[in-house]
Amino acid sequence: MITLIILLASCGKEEVALSYRYLFLGHPYDWNDGYRLDPRLERIDYTEYTQVWLGGDVCSRLTEKPGTVSYLDSVFDFSNDHVQWTLGNHDVMYGNVEQITDRTGKPTFYTEPLGSDITLMVLNTNLFWFWPSEPPPEDCDLKSEQMQMMLSVLDTIEQSSHLLILHHHSLLKDKKPDSLQEAFNIDPGMMAVSCDLEDQFSTLIYPKLVAAQQRGVKVILVGGDVGMRVKSFEYRTDDGIWLLGSGINNSLKRENAPEYVTNFDPDQVLIFRHYPEQLRLEWEFVLLNDLIEE
């Protein structure tokens, strides 16, 4: 059920502006327990948010034991249909993806509206083919189905004010400046969206994102494979498309940190505020510790 958050103006006649809040959590697993979230996430009041968006790698050994998804359900309450989850590699590394889809009631990739003005697209970037190596890619039918979903939406979207794409792995490496290449935990140059290496995200999908932007649809990509090198990521491409990301890792003890973890700054999350009557979507990076209930 959608929760409505009402903002009241403080001057003149009482004016009511309808708004929704969405919380994005990137890479939220507990580094000390493969079947748990960062413990701080158990202390957040999620009823304050219209939706919760999980950026993937929710637990590091998620589907190894069926009880893990039940635990996540106890935290996020999937029955309310307010959780959107873009799967990370840790979410699916043990297979058993049906543990997730059966509990959430959602497929691993899909599109759905947020009100009447925002189209939300949730991708499964595990289906992308990162490197042209052996063995050959699998799940070609699923890859093709997801690719056709993206193409269908991008070829027809016109009425929405925004297209918001949730993903886990880094996308559009070639569109970012050199100074931001290390923001995501994994940032491969090759990202084929099908079993055909010619179907690269940057060459097949990105031009259609630009075309949608030129038709007046604001395009925003939000990625969750962040946290080991930076805690927040924000960049606008030359074509006006926003690339965002956030992630956490403070449950990791410095003395146990692998070499690829280089950032121990306070963890951040992303909070979006959606004003449907004004066709406006805003966001800010917030310290995770500021959301915790004492």
pLDDT digits (tens, 9 = 90+) for 38-88: 999 999 999 999 999 999 999 999 999 999 999 999 999 999 999 999 999
Considering the entire predicted model, what is its pTM? 0.93
pLDDT digits (tens, 9 = 90+) for 140-190: 999 999 999 999 999 999 999 999 999 999 999 999 999 999 999 989 888
With residues binned 3-state (H G I as helix, E B as strand, rest as coil), the percentages for the chain, rounded to 5, are 30, 25, 45
The two tokens of residue 64 are: 């190894």
Please report the domains of the chain, with CATH numbers, ordered by start residue: 19-291 (3.60.21.10)
User: E strands of 101-251, at which residues?
Assistant: 110-114, 118-122, 162-167, 218-223, 232-236, 242-246
User: Any residues with CB less than 8 A from the CB of 190 and at least 6 apart, and which?
Assistant: 129, 130, 131, 132, 197, 200
| pLDDT recorded at residue 8 | 36
